Chains A and B, each alone.
Chain A
C-alpha cells in the first residue's frame, strides 16, 4: 500500500515552459487536492476534486489546470511556467476530514 505518490520529486523549468505534475493514490479515496507551500506559509489550495471527472478551483488556481480522468490519479498542469510558481507542491487524498499527503514535488522555475 503506497498511499499517495507524486512524480517527479524535483524539477527545474524555464519560464514559459509547461509541465504536468502527477499524483496517484491507492486508497480508493474520492477526494483529491493540490496544494502549494511556500517558505513561511501554510498550504494553499490550488484545485481539488470530489470525484472522477470533476474538479473545482481553490484559493490560488490561476496559471494551473487539473484533470481527474481516473479516480486514482489527479494531474496538475502548468501551462506557461512563471518564477512565481516556484514552490513545493503537495497532492492529498481523503475519504473524509483526514487528508493523506504525498511526499511533494519541489519545482523551480528559472
Chain B
C-alpha cells in the first residue's frame, strides 16, 4: 500500500526552530508538498520539492531526499500563529496526491 508517516504532535517555543519529518512509501513519486491547516480552516500550500535538496521560502524551508524517501519541513523563528497542523503530501502520478495524517504543532510562549 501507500503510506506517509509524520509525527502526530510537536511542541516548540516561540522564536525557536522546529523540524517536521515525513517518510513516504508510494507507488510513484512526482514531488513532495507541504500544507498548513489552522483549526477550522482549509489547507494552504507552503512548499514543494521535486528534486533533492533544500527549498527556502521565508521562514519556511523544505528538504527532500528521494533516495531515502524522506523529507522535512523546517520552520524558523517560530511565532504563535504557526500553531497549526502541517501535512506532507506526495504526488503519485496521474495527478493523484496522497496526504499524510498531519503533525499538530503547538507553539508555546
Partner-B contacts on A (CB < 8 A): 31, 33, 35, 40-45, 48, 50, 56, 58-59, 90, 97-104
Q: Is B43 a contact of A31 with CB atoms below 8 Å?
A: no
> Is B29 interfacial (CB 8 A cutoff)?
no
Q: Is B101 a contact of A33 with CB atoms below 8 Å?
A: no
Q: Is B95 a contact of A42 with CB atoms below 8 Å?
A: no
Closest 6 CB pairs of A and B: A42-B99, A101-B42, A43-B99, A42-B101, A98-B45, A101-B43
Q: Is B43 a contact of A43 with CB atoms below 8 Å?
A: yes
CA distance A103 to B33 in the complex (A): 20
Closest to B6 in A: A42
Q: Which residues of A contact B45 (CB under 8 A)?
A: 98-100
- Given the known inter-chain contacts A43-B87, A101-B44, please indicate yes or no for A58 contacting B99, CB distance below 8 A: no
- Given the known inter-chain contacts A31-B95, A40-B101, A50-B95, please indicate yes or no for A97 contacting B42, CB distance below 8 A: no
CA distance A49 to B8 in the complex (A): 30
Q: Which residues of A contact B8 (CB under 8 A)?
A: 40
Interface code B44-57, partner A: CB below 8 Å = 1, 0 otherwise?
A: 11001010000000
